[in-house]
Structure 1
Amino acid sequence: MTESILSPKGNIEDALIKAFLLNHPKDAARKVETMQPAEAAELLSTQPTYVLQPVWKNLPPGVADNLLQHLPDTAIKDILTTMDSGLCAALLSRFEEPQREQFFALLDQNIVSELKELMEYPADSAGAMMETNITAFNENTTVADTLTLLRNQKIKDLNHLYLLTDDMYLSGRVPVQRLALAEGNEKLSTLAIPLVSYVTALDPKSEVMEKIEKLKLDTIPVVDGNDQFVGVIRGRNILDEIKNTLATEMLTMVGASKEEKALSTSWFAVKKRLPWLQINLVTAFLAAAVVGMFEETIAKYTALAILLPIAAGQSGNTGAQSLAVTMRGLTLREITIRHWPGVLKKEAGAALINGIAIAVTCGTGVYIWSSSLGLALIIALALISSMTIAAISGALVPIVLKKLGQDPALSSSIILTTITDIAGFMSFLGIATALSGMLAG
């Protein structure tokens, strides 16, 4: 039995390598950094994707880029498909367009569309100005290994090195002069100086310009919404960028833009807003029709009319909270439409717990006011139901609109208001009708 496990020798080596990669991904990543890209690719290409992913996300920019080019197409496809969308977009953005298109050809078109969207930034943002062809080093790497990495990556234009922690966050920088004078066994962390500042990819150009001028920086690092290093902005290029942006903004302020601005004409605003107001009017009639369906129940139990705004109001507030968080996530690229199951699960869970808490408070108040256990139970159940539906809707509406190519910011609130009103009215009046016997008691 023992003999079959230990033979052949290659199986033991493969098992040990797999165990090391899986159980010690950060240590494995540090080891991969010191290897030649072709050698590392040969070693890793035989491993399953679930073993590679923990190691891959701990590889700094530069190392991961070189390694990806030496892997077979099947391994590249598996890694890019299973990688976090933001990290994948950051990785591919560091390649020239022809190489990037070759990688895109290996992927599903839905994934490609998502990645291309993540790689595009607003014209007035730091992300639009940054250079994505970056290299970073783990702070625990030795000087000797760093010099080997620099030779492997054939980096020429370099004034200082950016350092990453084991969790892949920026920790400092090392001037090249210090590196050249250091002993081979010294770690980069001992040579590092603190980062003066950094910007996020969605920071406006004006803030970037202000920081570079104020702090007299030659370069400034850029991080994404998850604080991962994604690019650098060089001071020598930023003045031209700002001048071009200001010229463009002067043209758009006279109404040339397709999107409404604060100083657009009233007629321009009317053309943009009126269609949605008309749609809102139609949806308001839908909500009114729901109330009309229960006209007999309301006429028989007038207390329901008094409590009706509570159910609608709470569901509206819950939906608005969910909508705001989801819109922020989409805008800041914390999430994409592929994350919708996780977003819905989180919002539904939060709304259910909040709904129960609000239901207990409201039900107690209604019971004290009306002395009706049935009425208190009805409003409690309605709040739980309507708040949960509203939260799910608040998360789902902007995601669906974005998937359909519409502007979530413009129309989400109108659609959500309709859904939350209908959910609130339907839940409260529907439950009241179903439990009308308790009201009669």
Structure 2
Amino acid sequence: MPLPEAVAPVRMERVAIVAPEAVLRDAVMKLSGLVDIDRTDEELEKVVAGAVRRGEVAALAGWCPAEERPAIAAALAEVGAAMVPMRAPRGVDPPTLLRGTGTVRRSFTPLVSTYGTVPYQDVDPTLLAGAAYVLMFGMMFGDAGQGLLLVAVAALLRTWSRLARWRSAWPFVAGAGAASTLFGVLYGEFFGPTGVVPAVWVDPLEDPVLLLGAGVAAGAVLLAAAYAVAIVNRWREGGPRLAVYAASGIAGAALFLGIAGVAGGLLLHADLVVVGGAVTAVAGLVLAGVGFAAESGGGAAGVAQAVVQLFDIVIRTGSNLVSFARLAAFGLVHAAIGSVVWLGTTALAGHGVAGVGAAVFLFLLGNALAFSLEALVAAIQALRLEFYELFSRVFEIEGRPFRPWYGEAR
């Protein structure tokens, strides 16, 4: 499947279902679960009664997936009805149906659908959103041992029949577990600082500043990706003008890159980077200011509103970037809890047989509590960052979900 098609919602076509009055009822039944009829979520008799009639012929309008139209038309032909392509009404967007092919995509789809319905013309960010989520979760829940437990949970979801209702979530859980295992190896954490795996990159408690910087840097990369998708969406929604001047378009992206450049230049003591970042940020502010002024309608009140909005976008952009420091902060909390449990375990283990038994109990209980509490916290915080920092840029409008009519004779 070509990339542009793979990252877009299912293409819809506006269609009319035309049938002789005598077979209209049978034709409508053929559409159950396939076509979003304009008169949806109603009883069969009401749908039939709402058809447009010309003599002995009746018609209903709706939307169907373009790739499904030949099969639906063939099914209608069996009862003497037909499906006719129509021109979409001006100013009316088709309903959105995200692609459900692929186990991984289906597992990540609730991340997007929980936030809202993707507009029909926008990019479908399902796979990108899933990858970003598991990355953020893994950074906050970095423990190789507990990550492997999550992978084991994913295996149970996939294979155990009693968990069949949650089976579709197994790739999501497996991805989160794999990311946690990877970061656990980088941190040297295996059910705490047990020494089973050495710290390949950094010990969170030994160098928290490095970890905090890495969290902000990871957030900068994710925000840059969100701006890239948002620019494409603004272009599709309103053309090049909206893509350039929108706060989530090129204007906002330039401001973000400029602020990141200034911060990075100051950190690295690179004057040219600071100057380049400042120029880029000013250019972004100018573009955003033009957009805000045009949106406000001009005049003194419009200029004042634009100034307030410019101040707001600067504050929000900086705070959104810093917000990703929580990736490191919660990773530090997780490491600290693991360290406390391990210190208590080793202290008890040196007091004879009873001490060893108490140490084993503390180790199991402490890790069970850390696993349950920290997994919940990391899951919530990753979702918070996904929705408020990333999706708030990617989406500015909401689409209408594809709701095929389901009915049965009554």
User: Which TM-score bucket, shorter chain as reference?
Assistant: under 0.3
Give me the TM-score of the superposition, normalised by structure 2. 0.22
Q: Comparing both chains, which one has the higher relative contact order based on Cα–Cα distances under 8 Å and sequence gaps of 6 or more?
A: 2
